[in-house]
Amino acid sequence: MLYAIISEDVADSLSKRLGARAAHIARLQELKNQGRLVLAGPHPAIDSEDPGEAGFTGSLIVAEFPSLEDAQSWADTDPYIDAGVYGKVTVKPYKKVLP
C-alpha cells in the first residue's frame, strides 16, 4: 500500500538539511531503485523553485510499504530526524486516484 510521509521542519533548518541531504537522498534513491517511490520533495518556504536562504518548511514523500508500521519505521530513521531538521513527522495511508 502507499503511504504519505508528511514532515515539518523546525525553524531555520536549512543548514541542518544541507548537512544531512546526501544521506537523506540516498535512502530515497534506494526506494526509487526498488520501484516503491511515487514522489518526494521539499516544501519551499517561499513561492519559488529555489528559495535560497529562505529554505524549506517540510517535505512530502509518497512511497509503497508493506504496512503502516513499516512506513513509520522507515520514516523514523530518516537522517533529517537525526540531524534535527524535522520537528514533526506524520505517516498515513495514501490512495492514489489520479493520474
Q: What is the pLDDT of residue 49?
A: 93
pLDDT in tens, 27-52: 999 999 999 999 999 999 999 999 99
Under a CB-based contact definition with an 8 Å cutoff, are residues 43 and 56 in contact?
A: yes
Question: What's the pTM?
Answer: 0.95
pLDDT in tens, 59-80: 999 999 999 999 999 999 999 9
Kindly report the CATH number assigned to the domain that includes residue 14. Answer: 3.30.70.1060
| Residue 71 domain flag | yes
For residue 15, the enclosing domain spans: 2-94
| Residue 89 domain flag | yes
Q: What is the pLDDT of residue 91?
A: 98
Cell of 77: 530513521
| Residue 22 domain flag | yes
| Residue 99 domain flag | no
pLDDT in tens, 10-28: 999 999 999 999 999 999 9
Task: Indicate the number of domains in the chain.
Answer: 1
